[in-house]
Structure 1
Amino acid sequence: MIRDRRAPGFWPLAILFGLFLLFLYGPVITIFVLSFQGPQGGLTFPMRGLSLHWYQVLWQGLGVVDIGAALRRSLALGTVVMALTVLLSLAAGMAFRKRLAGGQALFYVTVASLIMPSIIVSLGIGLQFRLIDSGLKWLLEAAGATGLLESYTTSLGLFTSGLGAHLTWTLPFGLLIMFAVFNRFNPAYEEAALDLGATPWQTFRHVVLPMIAPSVVGIGMCGFTLSWDEIARSSQAIGDLNTLPLELQGLTTTVTTPAIYALGTVTTGVSLLVIVLALLAARAMRRRHAA
């Protein structure tokens, strides 16, 4: 009987990889386990009981923080960011298939936001919108629109500055994925469809889009998950209403019970749910395309 002999370095590398996985996912598993403690539970081991008590506490609210509203805001912002990331990345990927004047410079400017410190991007966007506020107030005052001037607060908001800040983080990833997809795409399929009398729109809808659909789903998943847990780019650009990650960050200094672990488990669960749904959708599209 011939045995599959491992290379001499297999087990050391396997142990190193296992330690890496433990370092990567150990904190998540720890928070998940500690969130199911009993009413007398604390923030560290050993566990004191086993129950859903802290999830009930979370559902009732943590002090003055409205967790439900923050959750809805994060879901809404993540959904809009996901949709715009998919649309803009797909449009840019189609456009960059042809030679564009200034296209290389545009690409580098877009991707440059990945290497910029996130807090600097957030501060810059916040400052930009504050300058917009000053300009709008000056215009309203010059126009004598006293009523509008008194009711006007700020242009900083969830779907203005906050949306822009999140797109500076998600769009470069979407563009890089779409450029890689179209770099391997065989244009012969499009040419065959056009030769058979299909219009450019029909070619895109019935030929190109089904072939790249799994990648489009991946871009959407990437856009949502990156927006869902973003803190640094939101901190100075989101306005008066916090997203769930910002509320979670603030609660770490005031909440000293496992309820904070329950909240962390819920946010992680949403991210995992989106990833699983995206993988299932991509798998179904691959099977349909193969059929």
Structure 2
Amino acid sequence: MTGNASWVPPEIDTTVPNPARVYDFWLDGDHNFAADRALGEQILKIMPGVRDAARLNRAFLRRAARYMVDAGVRQFLDVGSGIPTVGNLHEIVQQVDPACRVLYVDREPVAVAHSELLLQGNDNCAVLQADLRDVNDIFEAEPARRLLDPAQPTGVFMLLLLHFVPDEWDPAGILTRYRDQLAPGSFLAVSHVAADSGSERLDEAVQVYKTGQHQQNQPFPRTHDQVLRFFEGFDLVEPGLVGCAMWNPQGVGDMSDDPSINSLPYAGVGRKP
């Protein structure tokens, strides 16, 4: 790690790779360790475009967040938020309206610890350590009751999260439970690794990732139809569920020179009617 490690909880085993820290490494962040960098480099040797895919996901976050703010949303829930890096959700929305409120949720202590440091002094933001399956606990927690008005639309983000959720957890059912908590006019933004993007050597990269990760952090790429199920009960915003770079791009920086990387994560935004 290149920065001060004082924010890392003592119970964290930094010799075991962590998805949030590997992602941070791909984004050129400095909150990762040797084990994370080693696994990240292994993946990059198989799929050099993965670093671009991580960047495209952050660009999608920015565009989706601005879309929701323009639609009148002023409260946000980011589940599986990971380690804060450049262009965090609260920075994007509060730049438009400082009164926007954001609750970050992650189950990883390392992500929560660093988020707490970043959010010090920002009364319109909080972080909660919880599993995405603990839907009722999340919405009933003190930070959620303080920041999220159940009568008002909420912008929910689950970016590069659901492909770590195995089918036996019933991810579509989990999304239904979130939807049922949301007021009409709320939005859901999802990005998810595509199993049918045509990206060369994706299967090999996934296998290496699975070998290097703890059992609970195994990736499960899904097809377009499978990811589409997560938007049941939402009206998809144009252009629908598409390759991440194709969701309303605003400039060349939102695209990769590699067409397969542009489609490697699917991305979409749905609105609850």
Structure-1-length-normalised TM-score: 0.24
* Higher relative contact order, chain-length normalized (CA < 8 Å, sep 6+): 1
Bigger fraction of residues in helix: 1
| Max Rg structure | 1
TM-score (norm 2): 0.25
Richer in strand (by share): 2
